[in-house]
C-alpha cells in the first residue's frame, strides 16, 4: 500500500523533506499507529541497508562549492550523501526506538491535520490523506 508522508520541524517555514510516497507492506484498510510506525521504520531500514557504502580516503567528488556550503550550514546539518559507517541498521532496535520516541513525545503524528495521540488509535488508510510527522524540539534553559 502506498502512503503519503511529510516530515517537518517546528520553527521551519518549509518541510525538511518534501512530501514523499512510501510503499509499505500492508493490505488492510485500518491500521493502528503502532503498526504504521513499525511498517514505516521497516521500509526506511530496508532502504538504508540497500545503500552502498563508500570506502574512500578522501571524498573528491563531493567537495562542496562555496555557495553550496552556505546552504548546508543554514539547515544546521552538513552532509554529502555518503555513508561511511558500514554497520547495517537493526530493524527491531529501530522499531523499538521509534515507538519509544513517540511515547516520550519526541515527535507528533498528524493524519489530515488531526493529531494521532496514542499508539492504539486506528487509522483509516482508504481515505489517502497525508501523514505529517513533526519533530519536536525541547527548549534549553534553567530555572536559576
**What is the Cα–Cα distance from 9 to 75, expressed in whole angstroms?**
11
**What pLDDT does 8 receive?**
75
Over residues 3-12, the pLDDT tens digits come to: 888 887 666 5
Asked whether residue 64 carries a pLDDT value surpassing 90, the answer given is: no
**Domain map of the chain by residue range?**
2-54+89-135
Per DSSP, 28 falls in state: -
- In the beta sheet, which residues pair with residue 12? none
Return the half-sphere exposure (C-beta side, CA atoms, 13 A cut-off) of residue 130.
12
**What pLDDT does 63 receive?**
57
Mean pLDDT, residues 55-61: 52
In the numeric block, the cell 510503499 is attached to 23
* Full-model pTM: 0.71
DSSP symbols for 53-78: PP--SS--TTPPPHHHHHHHHHHT--
Please give the CATH architecture assigned to the domain spanning 2-54+89-135.
Roll (3.10)
Amino acid at each position: 500500500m502506498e502512503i503519503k508522508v511529510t516530515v517537518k520541524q517546528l520553527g521551519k517555514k518549509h518541510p525538511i523533506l518534501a512530501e514523499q510516497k512510501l510503499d509499505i507492506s500492508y493490505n488492510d484498510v485500518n491500521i493502528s499507529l503502532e503498526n504504521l510506525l513499525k511498517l514505516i521504520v521497516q521500509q526506511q531500514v530496508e532502504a538504508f541497508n540497500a545503500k552502498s557504502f563508500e570506502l574512500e580516503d578522501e571524498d573528491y567528488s563531493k567537495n562542496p562549492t562555496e555557495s553550496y556550503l552556505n546552504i548546508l550550514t543554514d539547515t544546521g546539518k552538513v552532509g554529502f550523501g555518503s555513508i561511511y559507517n558500514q554497520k547495517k541498521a537493526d530493524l527491531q532496535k529501530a522499531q523499538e526506538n521509534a515507538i519509544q520516541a513517540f511515547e516520550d513525545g519526541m515527535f507528533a503524528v498528524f493524519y489530515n491535520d488531526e493529531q494521532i495521540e496514542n499508539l492504539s488509535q486506528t487509522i483509516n488508510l482508504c481515505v489517502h490523506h497525508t501523514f505529517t510527522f513533526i519533530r519536536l524540539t525541547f527548549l534549553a534553559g534553567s530555572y536559576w
